[in-house]
Structure 1
Amino acid sequence: MKYGELSLTHHELAAGAAARAALLVELLPRGAEPHIGVLLDNVPEYPLWLSAAALAGAAVAGINPTRRGPELVRDIAHTDCALLITERAHLPLLAGQTLPVPPDRILVVDDPAYRALLTPYEDARPGDTHLGRTPRGRAPAAAPTPASRMLLYFTSGSTGTPKAAICTQGRLAAAGHALAGYFGVRRDDVHYLCMPMFHGNAVLAGWAPALAGGAAVALRRRFSASAFLPDVRRYGATYFTYVGRAVQYLLATPPGPDDRDHPLRAGFGTEAGTVDAARFADRFGVRLTEGYGSSEGGAALRRSPDTPLGAIGTAAPGEDLAVVDPETGAELPRARLDTAGRLLNGAEAIGELVNRGRSSFEGYWRNPEATADRTRGRTSAQAGAGWYWTGDLFFRDADGFFHFAGRTDDRLRVDSENLAATMIENILARYAPATGVAVHAVPDPVAGDQVMATLALRDGAVFDPDDFVAFLAAQPDLGTKMAPRFVRTVAALPVTATHKVHRAALRRTGFRCPEPVWWSPLDAGPAGRAYRPFGEADRAALLAHYADHDRAHLLER
């Protein structure tokens, strides 16, 4: 493990994990759930405590440091944490809160008292905690098995209250070995962990394959676009994980003549988009591999050498994946693509991805309603009972490859036609002045939805409505219902703690936002769009229109 000037061998990591595992067994109250909350940035103590939990048969709940007040306390309480591991930098988050963990079981890893606590366990070895050799006569922990809970990782929380997905040691190991095999992970590889470890991306897709392949890991406390290449060169990093917004941050850094002077050979993540992935490969010489597989583990897609550009892959072995109508459960027609790979029949081909076969979904901690919602039938006839419903929109091409089309929450219905926000985003991403694009629905004053796009403009760029109209007219795959009614311009898109675009925040404000908004009035006509500033008089008149049709409440969803 590498972190700044610190470098630990595999042996030193194992010894450090064993000491922490012994301390964990000593501190856990009798009868308590063996759960520990970890409220840390990506510092060496994070993987050490992940390893300690594994040795002791305990589970780590990744606590998100961007949560605040009652919401932060709720996460700790909801996951029944008997121990909380944190650092001085995050103590202000806990100050003044009524915590479910007593002070003597809150360990501050950069406090001298913490080192004193660990000292009696420095001679511990892996296995001591369940072989009856724990200090002070404490009863040994149960030997971990593949079914032992290992992770309680919260969903990103961009669309509602976060849920804690359960991941066992067996599922984590399976994910690590699968990715290590796919990417050919070797002992001389270095996995750069710059995505936050309180989320599954860094742990399941970064740390686990490094363990399985015997590779090293290099930690970055928090993601930094400007520090990315210097870190990669410093640590000799060969692999990293990402989310789409992080890729946009990297592409927004000033180009340099040495952009390809680095040892990276692979990047693995989600939601980069075809345009940004192509730009990244062209600039940095690294192919980004888009994957699909959530923290819940209910469905997974795998790439093969013949996976076409823009597709994610085919179903993992043993999984029966299909794209279905969320209302009826009926499988939808295959997508028709033109020679450039553009979708021609999105209204009939885009639906929810379901797994009708064996699923590795292990449920949500203390949330039976959310667990049942993932697996029960959703239609009046209960079609799809027992399936795993992903909550994600996809389409499937004639050759059986699956293409991501967005989240079910990102579905729009415009003039009775179903659209997917991600499909529109992929088109608007070609607009040169924009560094990022987010599309979401705004309720129509009368029926259905209207399209709103938020554009993050490059430094110095100014939105030119005529130029934007010309751009839209030049896009052959922009359907007649896809052009945005509203365009919001921002310096940067809002993101969640896991660097995903915070669409829920954008939806909540809609056109009632402080940033400039341009709109194409309702009387623009079918011949094309003409954008003008959306002023206070426009806003008042439009809100009155909503009120007249008793739909103003929909703006609060």
Structure 2
Amino acid sequence: MRSQGSKAGTVAELVQARWGDDRPGLWFEHEVLSHHQVAAGAAARAALLSDLLPRSAEPHVGVLLDNTPEYPLWLSAAALAGAAVAGINPTRRGPELARDILHTDCRVLITERVHLALLDGLDLPGVRILVTETDAYGELLAPYAGAKPGEVRLRGVEPGPDARMLLYFTSGSTGAPKAAICTQGRLTAAGLSLADHFALRPQDVHYVCMPMFHGNAVIADWAPALAAGGGVALRRRFSASGFLADVRRYGATYFTYVGRAVQYILATPPSPDDRDNPLRLGFGTEAGAVDAARFEERFGVRLVEGYGSSEGGAAIQRMPGTPPGAIGRAAPGNDLAVVDPETREECPPAEFDERGRLLNGALAIGELVNRGRTAFEGYWRNAAADAERLRAGWYWTGDLFYRDADGFLYFAGRTDDRLRVDSENLAAAMIENILARYEDATAVAVFAVPDPVAGDQVMAALSLREGAAFDPAGFAAFLEAQDDLGTKMAPRFVRVVRQMPVTATNKVHRVGLRRAAFCCPDPVWWRPPGQCAYRRLTSGDVEGLLAEYAAQGRDDVLGR
């Protein structure tokens, strides 16, 4: 069943289609708003924004909020007005936070009391700050309560598909985050495509627990709900312990995930009634085949791994016959190839053993590029970053993949998560998939530690199930039993963490892990050169290692 407005070309049209719809459309804690109330609230905020923004200013509004009703209200308001929302990351601090707001030319910033302290002392010239859930905010909105969708537009121009809708920051391992542009047309197309692909219906409830300043929550969860006419249930911040209770409370049928969220949910204590829930589908990235199978077995919910670069430059679509572990084939309009970034030659197809394990990873893994037309719309005022993405007429995703003989694509990690051990290229994600079989581990991250002489060594961070203690002999025996663990893949160092450090978008904080390396407060186990057994790393070992780096003139590579 297609929803009213499903042929729309803009987000504004999708919002207008909900006017007069009195079905419940937005849930948050103990609050429920109808679709009509959401559309009316968006119209009021659009009218307010039109009066607040100087005519000469860029039509951008910054949103520094948790997942509260104000977030989708301002997304909808921006769409109606022909403005763009810049999602501001609340984990940024000081000058970096100010830089994000000013870089995206936000003259209005929407925030809440819980985040006001982040703005103390920041120099934000020309930026008007509105604080939700205050008397002043309510008084400011009151005169616009009768506004209707489409009545007020910035500069009197109806927003078209090319109107900027989102400026969302992409996380990188180096340099300041880049603000990727997403237009109303691209966001609408993404919402309609996902709604159609997953047969999403008006009666579906989309659980939004990933942060809305990130593209995943807006593009893959909120937009398809709007396109299908479904409802949205918000969680202020992701909570593994609150996940199942929320799903039951709101009757959620669909959710999205990124990074390690699935692992955290699996780490919660199991219950005999875990499968008693209304969910029918989870869509996201980087859950891993092992955890996806565990999730389906425990909760009875299928997880579909997808891939679409945040910037819109490449997309992979799952289809019938997709092998286990694969994401799918190139989506229509994409000419995707896996290439060696140095030679720009296409990598050979992957070879597997009888159990489906990759045999020729060093040759088959390369960077995914789109050699055809791309939906990439650029970064806001960052020509250098645009040029880095578009090289030699191709869109370079920055992600590692391998392809089988039938053209199915498998994710192998990020290009900056590649390790070079004894002149052999390894992908961190491939090693993680193997270590995820270790039964005591609830989360695994693999990253490079510079070798004292040249190249890298493999380091792993493990979060263990409650009550488990790291058994060095047992872990070594586990590694020995993994016949697809290459001779260069076994971790030299193992850091045992109470909880895996993650970014605000629930992706592993690899930059922090790499920066700390083996000089960290957590217990670290290691295999000294020439030894197979793991033993506890001591302060004397650390001093010896640092001396070795210094002797080789590589003490700067640790980033200390």
TM bracket (short chain): over 0.9
- Aligned with residue 430 of structure 1, among 434, 437, 445: 437
- Aligned with residue 546 of structure 1, among 539, 544, 549: 549
- Aligned with residue 29 of structure 1, among 25, 49, 54: 54
What is the root-mean-square deviation of aligned Cα atoms in Å? 1.1
Matched, 1:169 2:187: no
Q: Which moved more, 1:90-99 or 1:35-44?
A: 90-99
Matched, 1:556 2:559: yes
Matched, 1:38 2:63: yes
Give CA deviations for 1:172-211 in whole Å, capped at 9, x if unaligned. Answer: 0010011001110101000000101010111000000001
Matched, 1:324 2:347: no
- Which residue of the partner structure matches residue 3 of structure 2? none
Matched, 1:18 2:32: no
Unaligned 5+ segments in structure 2 are 1-25
Structure 2 counterpart of 1:198, one-letter code: F
* Contact 1:62–1:199 (Cα < 8 Å) also in 2: yes
CA drift at 1:257: 1.2
- Which residue of the partner structure matches residue 319 of structure 2? 304
- Which residue of the partner structure matches residue 199 of structure 1? 214
- Which residue of the partner structure matches residue 373 of structure 1? 388
- C-alpha distance in 1, partners of 2:444/2:30? 38
- Which residue of the partner structure matches residue 140 of structure 2? 117
CA drift at 1:160: 4.2
Matched, 1:232 2:240: no
- Which residue of the partner structure matches residue 534 of structure 1? 537
- Which residue of the partner structure matches residue 107 of structure 1? 130
- Aligned with residue 451 of structure 2, among 419, 427, 444: 444
Secondary structure in 1 aligned to 2:292?
A: helix
**Identity between Structure 1 and Structure 2 (%):** 73
- C-alpha distance in 1, partners of 2:417/2:142? 52
Secondary structure in 2 aligned to 1:552?
A: coil
Matched, 1:395 2:402: yes
* Contact 2:173–2:416 (Cα < 8 Å) also in 1: no
Query: In the TM superposition, what are the counterparts of 1:212-361 in structure 2 within 5 Å?
Result: 212-361=227-376
CA drift at 1:545: 1.4
Give CA deviations for 1:426-451 in whole Å, capped at 9, x if unaligned. Answer: 00011111111110111111111110
* Contact 1:321–1:356 (Cα < 8 Å) also in 2: yes
* Contact 1:333–1:349 (Cα < 8 Å) also in 2: yes
Secondary structure in 2 aligned to 1:118?
A: helix
- C-alpha distance in 1, partners of 2:303/2:173? 24
Secondary structure in 2 aligned to 1:230?
A: helix
Structure 1 counterpart of 2:200, one-letter code: V
TM-score with structure 1 length normalisation?
A: 0.95
- Which residue of the partner structure matches residue 11 of structure 2? none
Give CA deviations for 1:523-555 in whole Å, capped at 9, x if unaligned. Answer: 22xxxx211111122111211211222111111
CA drift at 1:465: 1.0
- Which residue of the partner structure matches residue 488 of structure 1? 495
Structure 2 counterpart of 1:354, one-letter code: V
Question: How many positions carry a matched residue from both structures?
Answer: 535
- Aligned with residue 160 of structure 2, among 121, 141, 145: 145
- C-alpha distance in 2, partners of 1:518/1:141? 64
Secondary structure in 1 aligned to 2:557?
A: helix
- C-alpha distance in 2, partners of 1:369/1:159? 14
CA drift at 1:10: 1.5
- C-alpha distance in 2, partners of 1:32/1:508? 40
Structure 1 counterpart of 2:483, one-letter code: P
- Which residue of the partner structure matches residue 50 of structure 1? 75
Give CA deviations for 1:298-320 in whole Å, capped at 9, x if unaligned. Answer: 10100002111100110010110
- C-alpha distance in 2, partners of 1:340/1:328? 31
* Contact 2:259–2:505 (Cα < 8 Å) also in 1: no
CA drift at 1:326: 0.8
- Which residue of the partner structure matches residue 382 of structure 1? none
- Aligned with residue 515 of structure 2, among 508, 518, 535: 508
Secondary structure in 2 aligned to 1:227?
A: helix
- Which residue of the partner structure matches residue 135 of structure 1? none
CA drift at 1:159: 4.8
* Contact 1:452–1:486 (Cα < 8 Å) also in 2: yes
Secondary structure in 2 aligned to 1:545?
A: helix
Matched, 1:420 2:427: yes
Give CA deviations for 1:453-512 in whole Å, capped at 9, x if unaligned. Answer: 111112222111110110001111101110011111110111000010001100001011
Q: Which moved more, 1:214-223 or 1:151-160?
A: 151-160
Q: Which moved more, 1:544-553 or 1:17-26?
A: 544-553
TM-score with structure 2 length normalisation?
A: 0.94
Structure 2 counterpart of 1:211, one-letter code: L
CA drift at 1:161: 2.1
- C-alpha distance in 2, partners of 1:314/1:436? 28
Structure 2 counterpart of 1:541, one-letter code: G
Matched, 1:362 2:377: yes
Give CA deviations for 1:234-287 in whole Å, capped at 9, x if unaligned. Answer: 111000001131101100111011101111000000100111111100000001
- C-alpha distance in 2, partners of 1:499/1:158? 15
Specify whether residues 65 and 101 from structure 1 end up closer, same or farther in structure 2 by C-alpha distance, changes over 3 A only. Answer: farther
CA drift at 1:140: 4.1
* Contact 2:495–2:523 (Cα < 8 Å) also in 1: yes
- Aligned with residue 87 of structure 2, among 56, 62, 65: 62
Secondary structure in 2 aligned to 1:21?
A: helix
- C-alpha distance in 2, partners of 1:327/1:422? 21
- C-alpha distance in 1, partners of 2:242/2:350? 41
- C-alpha distance in 2, partners of 1:459/1:65? 30
- C-alpha distance in 2, partners of 1:119/1:407? 48
CA drift at 1:339: 2.0
- C-alpha distance in 2, partners of 1:253/1:367? 42
- C-alpha distance in 1, partners of 2:172/2:367? 20
CA drift at 1:386: 1.3
CA drift at 1:100: 3.4
* Contact 2:205–2:253 (Cα < 8 Å) also in 1: yes
- C-alpha distance in 2, partners of 1:214/1:249? 30
* Contact 1:73–1:100 (Cα < 8 Å) also in 2: no
Q: Runs ≥4 in structure 1, deviation > 6 angstroms?
A: none
- Aligned with residue 407 of structure 1, among 399, 407, 414: 414
Unaligned 5+ segments in structure 1 are 131-138, 377-384
Structure 2 counterpart of 1:411, one-letter code: R
* Contact 1:431–1:471 (Cα < 8 Å) also in 2: yes
CA drift at 1:158: 5.1
CA drift at 1:416: 1.0
